[in-house]
Amino acid sequence: MKEALFRITENRKIAPLTFLMKAAGDCSGMDRPGQFVNIRIEGLFLRRPISVCDIRDDELTIIYKTVGRGTAAMSQMKPREELSMLTGLGNGYDLECSGDSPLLIGGGVGIPPLYLLARKLTQQGKRVHAVLGFNRKEEIFFEKEFRDLGCEVTVTTADGSAGVRGFVTDGLPEEYSYFYTCGPEPMLRAVKKATVTSGQFSFEERMGCGFGACMGCTCRTVTGYKRICKDGPVLEKEEILWED
């Protein structure tokens, strides 16, 4: 973990309530896809944890949805404003397990951390299939970006206004070597049931510190209590304790 000051270079709306921010700063020590940063916002006490979407040299990309005061304040920020971030938080996805044809399954703002993962996996020559789920056509983002990496992309929309009608589980391919997923909990539960291989899940929780000190985000797993912020946010499928 490091504390670093980032200067915003870009902050724009890319879909309803959904914003993309780029910021320049010390990006060392956060090269694992699925990690997050914890952002200090003027006037608020707790930092806001946001997953890293991409890193290019010393520029970080995050994509966030305005769900409360913190993210609403972020959406109003302008280029050249500065943000204090704790960086390099969380375990991130383990790329070693991917096999030759990994499947990436993302829902809404669960999609961003899968982008850096897709970029790393395609760089390794893996055949990546991404299934990206949205509620409706207007909310779709990053479909082209995933295609530009060379991924095969399936889009699903709950209302059928684009791509496959239904949820991400309606768009899963028949064959894949392994999977990585991130999204809202009901989606993750459905993915756990619908997938046929092992895989890794990224979780979200309200956090106090983001680095393992406060026990604010603990969950029960097969292998004991885990802090989502420090032992996670990525857990393996076999560790998850959900009654089927």
Partner 1 sequence: MGRLSTSLCGIELDSPLIPASGTFGYGYEFAELYDINILGTFSFKGTTREPRFGNPTPRIAETPSGMLNAVGLQNPGVDRVISEELPRLAEVFSKPVMANVSGFSVDDYVESCAKLGAQPQVGWLEVNISCPNVHGGGMSFGTSAKDAAEVTREVKKVTDKPVIMKLSPNVTDIAEIARACEDAGADGISLINTLMGMRVDIRRRKPVLANRTGGLSGPAVFPVALRMVWDVYEAVGIPVVGMGGVSSAEDVIEMMLSGASAVEIGSANLTDPWVCAKMTERLPELMDSLGIENIKDIIGGAHNG
- Among 216, 236, 237, 239, contact with partner 1 (rule: CB under 8 A): 216
Q: In angstroms, how far is CA 107 from the centroid of its own chain?
A: 9
Q: Does the protein bind partner 1 through residue 208 (CB under 8 A)?
A: yes
- Among 105, 110, 230, 234, contact with partner 1 (rule: CB under 8 A): 230
Cβ proximity of 222 and 240 under 8 Å: yes
For the chain, percent helix, then strand, then coil, each to nearest 5? 20, 35, 45
Q: Does the protein bind partner 1 through residue 45 (CB under 8 A)?
A: yes
What character string, x for contact with partner 1 (CB under 8 A) and - otherwise, covers 64-83? -----xx-------------
Q: Which three-class secondary structure state does DSSP give residue 186?
A: helix
**Smallest distance from the beta carbon of 111 to partner 1, in angstroms?**
23
- Among 97, 211, 237, 239, contact with partner 1 (rule: CB under 8 A): 211
Q: Does the protein bind partner 1 through residue 217 (CB under 8 A)?
A: yes
Q: What are phi and psi of 130, to 5 degrees?
A: -110, 130
**113 vs 107, 162, 175, CA distance in Å?**
11, 23, 23
Q: How many residues bind partner 1 (CB under 8 A)?
A: 27
Candidate segments 4-12, 45-53, 141-149, 154-162, binder of partner 1 by CB under 8 A = 45-53
CA–CA separation, 194 and 243 (whole Å): 14
Cβ closer to partner 1: 120 or 227? 227
Q: Which three-class secondary structure state does DSSP give residue 189?
A: helix
Residue 61 sits at the vertex; the CA angle it makes with 7 and 5, to the nearest 5 degrees, is 30
Candidate segments 28-36, 153-161, 184-192, 199-207, binder of partner 1 by CB under 8 A = 199-207
Q: Does the protein bind partner 1 through residue 136 (CB under 8 A)?
A: no
Cβ proximity of 83 and 48 under 8 Å: no
DSSP 114-141: HHHHHHHHHHTT---EEEEEESSGGG--
Q: Does the protein bind partner 1 through residue 209 (CB under 8 A)?
A: yes
**Smallest distance from the beta carbon of 43 to partner 1, in angstroms?**
9
**Smallest distance from the beta carbon of 86 to partner 1, in angstroms?**
7
Selection from 235, 237, 234 nearest residue 92 by Cα:
234
Candidate segments 10-18, 101-109, 137-145, 219-227, binder of partner 1 by CB under 8 A = 219-227
Q: Does the protein bind partner 1 through residue 242 (CB under 8 A)?
A: no
Cβ proximity of 192 and 221 under 8 Å: no
Which position has the token pair 């990006």? 27
- Among 59, 194, 212, 239, contact with partner 1 (rule: CB under 8 A): 212
Point out which residues bind partner 1 (CB under 8 A).
1, 3, 40, 44-47, 69-70, 86, 205-209, 211-220, 225, 230
